[in-house]
């Protein structure tokens, strides 16, 4: 077995410990395992020639996310940003440890951590691909439920969509516009795009 596949096995086994589950098209999986597979698939769609570091990062981007719940932090924007930062460091630490167990050197591990921490977005092509893929996972799998939850506050939805779309580039936008949406869902996305 290649080092890459062994690392995937370790990442997947870790994420399968997620006590939360996610159901999609009649199949239920541990939530973080499911999202890691979908993120990996999106990275390959966006960049069929993706390098090993990007593939490793895609499979471990949110590894162990359930271990630091949002509820452990107070409400508000600053605590939310602190939570996101702590999560990123947690993901990078777990990925680095598991990669070491697989035999990867520090240089490869450090590069994967850079991508997970999304250093130099809009400058680093791998980080940009990752950001595109993350936004596409949200749009494909979570957006319509999110839209229904906040249907009485379309401005909130448009604002969150706008922030997501701003993180993407034109390549990512092309894929985003090909996804199937409800009529209202597509209207809100087009409105968010018009405000970029």
Same domain (yes/no): 69, 106:
yes
Which CATH number goes with the domain that contains 25? 1.10.3210
- 21 DSSP assignment: E
Residue 112 belongs to what domain range?
3-138
Same domain (yes/no): 36, 88:
yes
Same domain (yes/no): 72, 126:
yes
Tell me what pLDDT residue 1 has: 65
Q: Which residues contact 29 (CB under 8 A, 6 or more apart)?
A: 21, 22, 37
Neighbours of 164 (CB within 10 A): 20
Using the Cα atoms of residue 33, residue 34, residue 35 and residue 39 in order, give the sign of their dihedral: positive
CA–CA separation, 109 vs 131, rounded Å?
19
Tell me what pLDDT residue 120 has: 84
Same domain (yes/no): 151, 77:
no
Global confidence as pTM: 0.92
Q: Which residues contact 17 (CB under 8 A, 6 or more apart)?
A: 30
Domains contained in the chain, number: 2
Kindly tell me if the per-residue pLDDT of 106 is higher than 70. Answer: yes
Kindly tell me if the per-residue pLDDT of 9 is higher than 80. Answer: yes
Closest CA to 63 of 30, 104, 14: 14
Same domain (yes/no): 105, 191:
no
CA–CA separation, 34 vs 15, rounded Å?
8
Same domain (yes/no): 88, 148:
no
Same domain (yes/no): 133, 147:
no
DSSP H stretches of helix in the chain: 3-15, 31-46, 52-60, 77-102, 106-116, 125-141, 143-149, 154-167, 170-176, 183-194
Same domain (yes/no): 21, 78:
yes
Same domain (yes/no): 12, 68:
yes
Same domain (yes/no): 96, 23:
yes
Min mean pLDDT across 26-35, 55-64, 162-171 is at: 162-171
């Amino acid at each position: 077995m290649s080092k890459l596949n062994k690392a995937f096995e370790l990442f997947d086994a870790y994420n399968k410990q997620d006590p939360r589950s996610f159901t999609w098209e009649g199949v239920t999986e541990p939530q973080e395992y499911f999202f890691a597979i979908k993120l990996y698939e999106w990275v390959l769609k966006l960049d069929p020639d993706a390098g090993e570091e990007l593939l490793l990062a895609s499979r471990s981007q949110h590894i162990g996310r359930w271990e630091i719940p949002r509820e452990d932090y107070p409400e508000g924007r600053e605590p939310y940003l602190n939570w996101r930062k702590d999560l990123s460091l947690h993901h990078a630490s777990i990925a680095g440890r598991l990669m070491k167990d697989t035999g990867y050197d520090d240089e490869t591990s450090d590069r994967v951590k850079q991508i997970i921490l999304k250093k130099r977005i809009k400058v680093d092509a791998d980080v940009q691909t990752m950001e595109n893929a993350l936004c596409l996972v949200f749009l494909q799998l979570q957006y319509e439920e999110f839209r229904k939850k906040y249907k009485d506050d379309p401005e909130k939805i448009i604002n969150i969509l706008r922030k997501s779309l701003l993180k993407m580039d034109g390549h990512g936008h092309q894929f985003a516009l090909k996804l199937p949406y409800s009529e209202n869902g597509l209207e809100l996305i087009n409105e968010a795009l018009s405000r970029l």
